[in-house]
Structure formats: C-alpha cells, structure tokens
C-alpha cells in the first residue's frame, strides 16, 4: 500500500514538472513576440482601436495651443467644429474685427470683462489713454480743420448770444427836405371878453374851419434812441438725445 502511494506521488510530481516547463516555454515565446514594438502597437490597436493614434496627436495639439508649432509659422489653431463656452471668455490679445482701442455704445452701467468705461480712468486711476466721453458727442476726424487731432475737445452745453454773434446791420432814421405839416381846423365860435372874464363880452369871433399849414423850417433831421430788450437767457442748441455708456476695448 505504501508503495502504491509513493508511485502516485512520483507520477503527480512528474506531470507537474512537465506542465511548468510547458508554461515557461509559452511565456517565453509571448515575451519574445511582445518585444517587437510594431507587434505591441498592433496588439493594442486590436483592443483600443484609434485611441492610440489620438494619444500620439496630443503632443502636437499641446504645441499648437501653446503657439510653439514650428511647422506653423502663423501659430494658428484651427477648430473645425462649433465651440461652446459656458463660462467667461477673456481675450488678452487682439480680436480680428474689434481691435484694442475700439469704442462702442453700451446699455449697461458696468463695463463687461475686457472693456473699460470711457471716463478717463483705468482701475480707479487717471489714464490719458482712455478718453472721458461722459456728457460728450463724438466728432469725426478731419485733417486741416479744428478736428485734426484725436482727443481734441470743445463745445458747451448752453450758449449765450453776444454782439459778436449778431449779423452786421444798421438802424436808420429818414431825413426829409424842406416841407410843411398841415393842420385841419373845425368850425367853432368864441366870445371876446376881458382878460379877467374872457367869456363875457359883446363881440364874437367865428371860425368856419379849413386847413392851416406850418411854416417852412428848411432841411432838418429827427434824432432818437433804440430801446434795449431781452434778458440774456442762455439757450440749449443740442438735438434730441438718448443716453448710453461709451466703453473702450482694453
């Protein structure tokens, strides 16, 4: 009985040894096969499809995003699909159709990101590069005129008319030659009395009416003054307006 058990043990050990030798031989073949790079890529392609190629292109995409692609002199990143950005987008460079320094009208009171209110300040400090357009109209540039420099200002909200604003004119008084003035007399009666009582007397005088004339006085003139009028109230010459906020691209 003991011999039989020993025999079985020897057989099991022998079979186990053969199995281990075989597994070792298979693993060695697999390792030799996987040591080839192309074989590894082919095996990975079978399982992961095009993912490997996408991973290889990641480095090229990173270079383009960083503007370090030597093959592309313009450092241009082309996105063939639509782009949706749910958060804020801040442009530190220039925008092709809206360059730095562009001024537009805005309906809000707070400038959006990337813009500055045209109030002559930047970050709370006076900045000459930002115009103060509060309560101002914009006039187009023109050389050889008073609008020949960007940043020129002028004009007032109200205006007073002075003697310099009135067109040249004169006031005349007509001078006539030697002439007379006629006087029409009506018909009336009076009594001739004494100095103390002119209405008591025996004689009467009757004037039947007619026309009498003044004597000639020769050439002469009549003087006079023009009376002042008005109260110098200023007037507003602005057209109808609508208020908006001017903002400038940073």
Q: What confidence tens digit (pLDDT) does each residue in 127-157 have?
A: 888 999 999 999 999 998 989 999 999 888 8
Is 129 part of a structural domain of the chain?
A: yes
List the end-to-end C-alpha distance of the chain, in Å, as a whole number. 100
* Measured CA distances, 46 to 29, 36, 42, 51 (Å): 20, 16, 6, 11
Is 81 part of a structural domain of the chain?
A: no
Burial of residue 146 (number of CB atoms within 10 Å: 0-12, 13-18, 19+): exposed
Distance CA 136, CA 192 (A): 86
**Top-confidence range, 108-122, 180-194, 211-225:** 108-122
Contact predicate 200/240, CB 8 Å: no
Distance CA 75, CA 107 (A): 36
Strand 188-192 and strand 203-207: the pairing is: antiparallel
Is 60 part of a structural domain of the chain?
A: yes
Q: What angle do CA 206, 210, 214 make, to 5 degrees?
A: 110
Shared domain for 30 and 150, answered yes or no, is no
Shared domain for 193 and 151, answered yes or no, is no
| Residue 69, pLDDT score | 56
pLDDT tens-digit readout, 35-48: 556 666 666 666 65
Is 71 part of a structural domain of the chain?
A: no
Dihedral sign from CA coordinates of 58, 59, 63, 64: negative
Is 157 part of a structural domain of the chain?
A: yes
Among all chains, which residue has been given the structure tokens 């001078």? 175
Distance CA 125, CA 87 (A): 29
Shared domain for 125 and 22, answered yes or no, is no
Helix (H, G, I), strand (E, B) or coil at 249: strand
Distant-in-sequence, close-in-space partners of 127: CB < 8 Å, separation ≥ 6:
120, 121
Shared domain for 206 and 126, answered yes or no, is no
Which residues pair with residue 159 across a beta bridge?
235
Distance CA 136, CA 153 (A): 9
- Both tokens of residue 187? 């018909």
Which residues pair with residue 116 across a beta bridge?
248
Q: Mark which of 20, 48, 65 sits at the end of a domain.
A: 65
Shared domain for 143 and 249, answered yes or no, is yes
| Residue 175, pLDDT score | 62
Shared domain for 106 and 6, answered yes or no, is no
Shared domain for 142 and 249, answered yes or no, is yes
Q: Write the secondary structure of 58-71 as one string of H (helix), E (strand) and C (coil).
A: HHHHHHHHCCCCCC
Higher model confidence: residue 214 or residue 83? 83
Structurally, the chain folds into a number of domains equal to 3
Shared domain for 116 and 19, answered yes or no, is no
pLDDT tens-digit readout, 60-73: 666 666 555 555 55
Shared domain for 188 and 152, answered yes or no, is no
Is 74 part of a structural domain of the chain?
A: no
- Both tokens of residue 92? 């530190």
Strand 210-213 and strand 182-185: the pairing is: antiparallel
Structural domain boundaries, residue 196: 182-213
| Residue 119, pLDDT score | 94
């Amino acid at each position: 009985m003991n011999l039989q058990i020993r025999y079985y043990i020897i057989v099991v050990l022998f079979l186990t040894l053969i199995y281990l030798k075989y597994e070792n031989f298979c693993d060695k073949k697999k390792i030799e096969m996987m040591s080839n790079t192309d074989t590894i890529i082919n095996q990975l392609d079978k399982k992961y499809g095009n993912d490997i190629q996408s991973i290889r292109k990641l480095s090229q995409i990173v270079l383009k995003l960083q503007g370090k692609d030597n093959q592309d002199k313009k450092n241009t990143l082309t996105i063939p699909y639509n782009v949706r950005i749910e958060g804020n987008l801040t442009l530190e460079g220039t925008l092709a159709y809206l360059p730095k320094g562009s001024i537009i009208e805005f309906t809000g009171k707070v400038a959006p990101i990337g813009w500055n209110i045209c109030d002559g300040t930047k970050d709370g400090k006076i900045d000459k590069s930002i115009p103060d357009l509060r309560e101002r109209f914009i006039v187009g540039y023109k050389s050889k005129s008073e609008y020949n420099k960007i940043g020129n200002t002028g004009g007032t909200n109200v205006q007073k008319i002075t003697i310099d604003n009135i067109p040249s004119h004169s006031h005349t008084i007509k001078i006539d030659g030697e002439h007379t003035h006629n006087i029409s007399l009506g018909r009336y009666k009076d009594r001739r009395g004494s100095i103390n009582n002119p209405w008591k007397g025996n004689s009467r005088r009757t004037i039947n009416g007619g026309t009498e004339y003044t004597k000639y006085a020769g050439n002469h003139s009549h003087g006079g003054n023009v009376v002042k009028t008005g109260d110098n109230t200023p007037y507003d010459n602005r057209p109808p307006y609508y208020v908006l906020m001017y903002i400038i691209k940073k």
